[in-house]
Every structure is written in C-alpha cells, then in structure tokens.
Amino acid sequence: MTKGTYLGEFEIYVLAALERLGEEAYGVTVRGEIEERSGRMASLGAVYTTLERLAEKGFVTFWVSEPLPVPGGRSKKHARLTPAGRRALRESARALERMLGGVRLGLRGEGGRA
C-alpha cells in the first residue's frame, strides 16, 4: 500500500503538460496545452500557483529564456519536470489507470447525457 504522495487532480494536468511540451513549457503554453488537449479549463493564475507549489515539492524547476524581438516578447519563465516529478506523475497516472481501467464509462464513444 503506497501511503505516499499522490498528486492532486490539477497537478496531474500541469505535470502532464510539462511532459508534453518539453522546452516549450511556460505558464501560457501550459495553460493552452491543458485546455486544448483535455478540454478542461485552466486559468493562468491557477497554473502559476500550481507550478510554484510543484517546485516547492521538487517536482519542477525553472529556467528563464531570452527576450524575443516581438511584441510582448519578454523573457519567459519556463518549467521542466525533475526526475522526481516524472516519477510522481507516473505513479499517480498508473494508480488512476488501475482504478479506472475496465470501468464501463463510455470512454470510447457512447457520449451524450444521462
């Protein structure tokens, strides 16, 4: 029985976005990736707060990019997964998959209400 550190729901989205985005990951792109990919809404404030908390846990580190010669091209605070972060994401995702796997919820089609 793992008593351990299970990620919160939104934390999972943020870490998964980092995994997908790689070097392109920073506040705005993380938010975009979550919304486009999953359809789940995510405010920028929520993203930044969560990234900060994940960094405190050692799951994320930051690095700053050079400013770009375009409007609004200020330097960005990029985020990347640490090995511990990747491990935490994997553990949470696996446990969730085991729990949801096989449950008939219309995960493939069936859509609609009720």
Partner DNA sequence: CAACTATATCCTACTTTGTAGATGATATCA
Partner DNA sequence: TGATATCATCTACAAAGTAGGATATAGTTG
Nearer to DNA by Cβ, of 52 and 97: the residue is 52
Enumerate residues 6+ apart whose C-beta is below 8 A from 97: none
Q: Which of 73, 87, 97, 107 binds DNA (CB under 7 A)?
A: 73
Q: Give the CA radius of gyration of the chain.
A: 16
Nearer to DNA, 67 or 107 (CB): 67
Of 16-24, 51-59, 90-98, 99-107, which part binds DNA (CB under 7 A)? 51-59
Does 70 bind DNA (CB under 7 A)? Our answer is yes
**Whether 58 contacts 85, CB under 8 Å:** yes
**Cβ-contact 7, 15 below 8 angstroms:** yes
Tell which residue, 94, 26, 10, has the closest CA to residue 60. Answer: 26
Q: Which residues bind DNA (CB under 7 A)?
A: 3, 5-11, 26-28, 41-46, 48-50, 52-53, 57, 67-78
